[in-house]
Amino acid sequence: WAALTARVRGWARELGFDACRFTTATPPTNATRFQQWLAAQHHGEMAYLQRNAHKRVDPQQVLANAKSIITLAVSYAGGDREPETPHSAANSQPATRNPQPSGIVARYARYNDYHQVVGERLKKLTNCVNQLGGEGTRSLWYVDTGPLLERDLAERAGLGFIGKHTNLISRQLGNWIILSEIITTLELEPDAPEKNRCGKCARCISV
């Protein structure tokens, strides 16, 4: 097991992933809470969440005989400076009669579409996993597109913990990360889950 996970982690690093962890393909920890959330109609107009809820609460409905889920993260924090806030921008620019349109662009949207960029890496890593498992090994990859409770699975794999703002926070990478997964019939040694480390801190929802 240790040798298998080490090889997958090595391939993930070579392909540009910043973190790679493993968990089982059993139902997510918060499956029941998710079903209650849906029953309370908190999903609003996102009807697709209701349609494929049976898959989100049971990875076996996504891939029969799945044994493991590889959770991966790519950081998009980058090294560029922080965008100016509307307040600082207003104070730093002279007033004009016809100012140019301005605004703040989400950091992840400043680059090429992450679905395509990360997707290409996932395809290659998935092929490696299938070759590692040998004949009969089946795997599916997703990057923010599949019926998986990815934050829940990432927390269980030890990739990070879910903060009060409901996003995953990695102790190494922060929370500017793109999550993706490979669900596979290959059995891989699961990592220890990450515990919630928020305590009384509420910085993620106060800044």
Question: Would you name the residues annotated as active-site residues?
Answer: 144
Torsion sign over Cα 145, 29, 23, 58: negative
Torsion sign over Cα 44, 195, 72, 4: negative
Beta-carbon contacts of 189 under 8 Å, excluding residues fewer than 6 positions away, are 1, 2, 4, 5, 22
> Rounded to whole angstroms, how far apart are CA atoms 80 and 85?
15
> Rounded to whole angstroms, how far apart are CA atoms 143 and 190?
20
- Residue 149 burial by CB count (10 A; 0-12/13-18/19+): exposed, middle or buried? buried
